[in-house]
Structure 1
Amino acid sequence: MSKARKPWIVGITGASGVVYGVELCRELLRQRIPVHLIVTDAGWRVLKDELGWDTSDRTAELRAQLDPDEGLLTLHPVRDVGASVASGSFLTSGMVIVPCSMGTLSAVARGASDNLLERAADVVLKEGRPLLLVPRETPLHAIHLENMLILARSGVKIIPAMPGFYHQPRSLEDIVRFLVGKILDMMDVEHDMYTRWGAHTNESISDTDRPD
């Protein structure tokens, strides 16, 4: 019998771009990778405003949208600081916050643990597990940049929501899948979310010519 795969924690905050977090969850669940999901109150607002979700019954909507049959999704209320993911003894593969608001990014950079999302991120950091933040904000001021530098120096992967266009996207879905694919690369999760540079050519590519 194959060993069960350790879950990933996914946090969704109130930054614009909530579709990235939703698409990431869908791909992980499609690959039968368990997901422990934490959505902030502002995140729920953006799910309603940007995707039109019915948030009157949050758990039911999440089940319907992400995990109707498989039972691989665990939703944790953001105020439940006693949840499993609040402890380092609960084994996970790591955590992704996508999209990550600048408020949450600041809290993680300062080691705050005022809610479960912040506490889970702090636990992942202290346990030396992968922590990935996907900020979606523009323009950025000096405090934003300094907080990102603090996190990067602590080993956090910062993946700004900056889609590439060398894969010639034809739809908004293509742009979303590109960024989610970049996140999955940093998670070391195989995927076919987009066509990689050079995948359909035999030409050699120099370092100076290769897109990020």
Structure 2
Amino acid sequence: MIETIVLDIGETITHDDRYWHSWADWLDVPRHTLSALVGAVVAQGRDNADAVRLARPGIDIATEYSAREAAGQGEFLDESDLYDDVRPALSALRKLGVRVIIAGNQTSRAGELLRGLDLPADLIATSGDWGVAKPQPEFFARVLEVAQSTPEGAVYVGDHPANDVFAAKAAGLRVAHIRRGPWGLLWADAPEVPGGADWRIDSLMELVSIAGG
């Protein structure tokens, strides 16, 4: 029985477009250039942040992040950043009695912004809040702590093979791999990804049938 569903954030419930566009504008590089670099590092299996490092060699991302915030060009999220299926899927899951948690690799500021959207979720937390990030086992230990269920009763939903599929599975959770965003689409058919996930989905609405079944 599925008691809790935990959802990743970037490219699972939110589009990453605004995030990368804001970095491109801050670095004064064309948006399509940074998008191409993101695609390149994804194809190589590298960290997304390497796209910023390629655009500005030697950059200290944490320092630049603080500078952006100080300049009033920091992180921002609103309703337009959500995928269309987020609210209906989360609402339907809660009607089924499933505990809904949102937890991913994001800053504390992103967590504040998400909580401000009044999403139909029981808890929203980020790696910035917890001080530990995926794919570290400690992140998923926190996930299980807040899930209030057994590992077999919890499902982690995400797009990233290493950070989401393999790491959550190693922690004992069941996993749904969502095929959207650069990571989710590019790596969807890699042999190890379907084998590591319990379900492969294209929409969060599919979770309603999975939980209800």
For Structure 1 versus Structure 2, the TM-score category normalised by the shorter chain is 0.3 to 0.5
TM-score (norm 1): 0.46
Identify which of structures 1 and 2 has the higher relative contact order when contacts are C-alpha pairs closer than 8 Å and 6+ apart.
2
